[in-house]
Amino acid sequence: MSHPLLLLRTAPRRFAAAAAVLATSLLLAGCATAVPLTPAADATNVACADVIVHLPSTVADQESRETNAQSTGAWGDPAAVLLHCGVPVPAPTTLPCLNINGIDWIEDDAAAPTYRYTTYGRDPAIEIVVDSEAVSGSTALVDVANAVAYVPATGSCVGAEDVQLPTPGATTAP
């Protein structure tokens, strides 16, 4: 059994050590604020892991941020660029399609000045959400192109001029 005087001498030290650990934990928690995101439906796709490990440390001159969801990325404080890998593969659409550094992106400006870009012709699909008041969307897409290229292209965007329509009165061979 310990002597009562010994317990009295060590109790303040134990309290001080516990207080120091608590203060350090609170300080670190305040510094490490992860960007809260929700993982995409196919975030566990192995191809997403290749994308995520190759993401750049800066996008559109914005520093990378920690996120709390699998297969995601964020840049800027506040976050101006968000990335989700594993979003649903888009079907053909009439929305504009941009080819930037060999990557086809469908551009959705329905929530402008926030733009949503989704890869076209890649499975899993990758989505980039850009606050265009903070950064340039085209710069963000250029900066992530190398990482996105780890998902191989299986198709590409086509324009109206690329579609062969049957000519009126033409017959097809049986």
**Tokens for 91?**
């079907």
Higher pLDDT: 158 or 70? It is 70
- Assign 115 to helix, strand or coil: strand
What are the pLDDT digits (tens) for 5-48?
444 444 444 433 333 333 333 333 445 599 999 999 999 999 99
- Nearest to 104, CA basis, from 114, 84, 86, 89: 89
Mean pLDDT of the chain: 84
pLDDT value for 158: 87
pLDDT of residue 102: 95
pLDDT one-digit tens code per residue, 111-138: 999 999 999 999 999 999 999 999 999 9
pTM: 0.76
What pLDDT score was predicted for residue 31? 53
DSSP one-letter string for 54-85: T--SEETTEEEE-BSSTTEEEETTTT-EEEEE
Candidates 98, 86, 14; CA nearest to 44 is 86
Structure tokens at 166: 């049957």
Please state the rounded mean pLDDT for residues 68-92. 97
More confident residue, 164 or 61: 61
What is the number of other CB atoms lying within 10 angstroms of the CB of residue 116?
A: 20
C-alpha 119: how far from its chain's center?
12
Q: What is the pLDDT of residue 159?
A: 75
